[in-house]
Structure 1
């Protein structure tokens, strides 16, 4: 291998690694995938990925050429469209159908792409996701409507944060604070008796880091200690910021508008649960920027995960039911890689969203701080811990039974 070829290879690997990091790829998947790419391209490499950095060392067979690269990166956000296109491009390179110079140009084009779905559909998706979560939690129809409205407001704050660094720094607590304040005003003057804490939680559910906590624990279980610890602590701090903003907003709202007396509403019919799962999955398509051809797979993943969990709940505890759901999801996601030749993450994330207990972590924090439960929940702390462990174990068992075809 001559020096010019080595330079082309290391440029491609560095750019590929940074882009996959940007799209929210977990450390153990990113490092394994880049190692596979480096091996196929005929170089040796070592990678260390954390949520805020990426270190790359590449060398040739006899160490004639060596290259070190360390970059400080911002935590990535899930972008399934870009992840899918990037994986397809890497596959073309490995097949020899695309040169490294052409691949570098294509990577720039993918990186510059916006969302497949415009701002209006994404905003509607935010409202749909928050309303669907409220429905899943057994809220009344009016509470579902208010949660959806606050979800649209959360998207407005998200758009503003993309243009302002100051807003970006306080996005989670400020969104929760405004939602709490408005919910108190609505509870006093427009719709008395609504479950204010539940409405506030539903309105910020897109920011609750249940998925990040699960990814952090998965990284720890794979012995990625630095990345797993950093991701877990970042998720915990994000949860604290959300809760503090909501607590401050509700407290200020009660001081200004008066206390709200919660009046339990009539329970929704059983079919509303499945409708909420469907609406949540459809909303996640736009939020995760899923490619159109992968939408049926994504919807199927979510329903398989939820159905397996609901079915197993008749025979075992809810925590162990999450193990069955995660196991079924892992098998389906790994089958997806073999059939569609795409990363399992594309469909696995949709299924994990309906399983992760991020909302229960928030509810448990509220119970610990105030001594009050705004939804019926017994032994919440133990249940949340067991669900997290069950999710990680379920995915590990699935990878043992049916190994994934791709590292991503």
Structure 2
């Protein structure tokens, strides 16, 4: 390998690593995948990934050429469309269908690619997702409607945050504050007796870091200590900011508009739970930017995870049932990888969303601080811990029973 070829290879690997980090790839998957690509391209390598940095060490077989690089990066966000296309590009490169220069150019094209669903569809998806979550939590019809409306407001703040660094820094607390203030006003003037904390939680559920907590624990389980600890602490800080914003918003609303006396309203029948899972799946397609050819797989993954968990809970403890659901999801995701030759993350993220206890973490924090539950939830702290552990263990066992063919 001459020096010019080594330079081309290391430029491609560095760009590939930064892009995969930007798309929210966990550290243990990112490091393993980059190692595979580097090995295929004929260079030795070592990588260290954290939520805010990425270190590359590359050298040729006999150390004729060496390269070290450390990049300071912002925590990535899930973009399944770009992740899928980047993986296809790497496959084409390794199979000889593309040259390094062509692959490098296409990486730039993928990075500049907008969401395949556009802002209007994503705007509607936020409203649908928040409504579906409220339905899943047993809210009444009016509470579901208000959750959807305020979910649209959450998207406006998220869109504003992409254009303003100041808004991005305070996104979680200010969004929760506005939702709490608006819900208090609704409870005082438009719809007295609504469950204000539940509506506030539903309206900001997209920002609740349950998935990030699960990914952080999975990184810790894979002995990525630095990345896992950083991701868990970052997720906890996001959760604290959300709760403080909601607490301040509701308190300010009560001071301005008067206190709300909660009057329980009839929930939708049991079949609405399954409808809410379907609606949530549909909304996540746009929010996660899932490619059209993977939509059916993503919806099936959600129903596999939720259906197996609900079915298992009829015969065993809920926390053990979550382990079984996560195990089934892991097996299904790895089967998807073998059929579609795409990263398991593409479908596993859809299923994890209906399993991760991010909302329970928020509810537990509320119970700890205020001493009150706004939904029926006994032993919430123990349940959150056990569910997180069950999720991680289920995915690990699934990788042993049905090994994935891809690191991603």
Q: TM exceeds 0.5?
A: yes
Unaligned residue ranges in structure 1 (runs of 5+) = none
Runs of 4+ deviating beyond 2 Å: none
Matches for 1:53-68 after TM superposition, within 5 Å: 53-68=53-68
1:189: which partner in 2?
189
Distance in 1 between residues matched to 2:145 and 2:128, nearest whole Å: 10
Distance in 2 between residues matched to 1:315 and 1:69, nearest whole Å: 53
2:309: which partner in 1?
309
2:221: which partner in 1?
221
| Partner SS, residue 78 of structure 2 | coil
Matches for 1:61-210 after TM superposition, within 5 Å: 61-210=61-210
Structure 1 residue 267: Cα displacement: 2.4
Distance in 2 between residues matched to 1:345 and 1:163, nearest whole Å: 28
Considering only aligned residues, what root-mean-square deviation do their CA atoms show, in Å?
Answer: 0.4
Cα pair 1:277 1:303 within 8 Å, conserved: yes
Deviations, residues 341-399 of structure 1 (Å, cap 9, x unaligned): 00000000000000000000000000000000000000000000000000000000000
Matches for 1:208-357 after TM superposition, within 5 Å: 208-357=208-357
Deviations, residues 222-246 of structure 1 (Å, cap 9, x unaligned): 0000000000000000000000000
Cα pair 2:141 2:267 within 8 Å, conserved: no
Cα pair 1:319 1:384 within 8 Å, conserved: no
Distance in 2 between residues matched to 1:398 and 1:371, nearest whole Å: 38
Distance in 2 between residues matched to 1:172 and 1:149, nearest whole Å: 18
Distance in 1 between residues matched to 2:238 and 2:407, nearest whole Å: 28
Distance in 2 between residues matched to 1:197 and 1:169, nearest whole Å: 24
Distance in 2 between residues matched to 1:196 and 1:321, nearest whole Å: 30
| Partner SS, residue 139 of structure 2 | coil
Deviations, residues 307-362 of structure 1 (Å, cap 9, x unaligned): 00000111111111110110000000000000000000000000000000000000
Distance in 1 between residues matched to 2:162 and 2:212, nearest whole Å: 20
| Partner SS, residue 57 of structure 2 | strand
Distance in 2 between residues matched to 1:368 and 1:327, nearest whole Å: 31
1:367: which partner in 2?
367
Q: How many equivalent pairs are there? A: 408
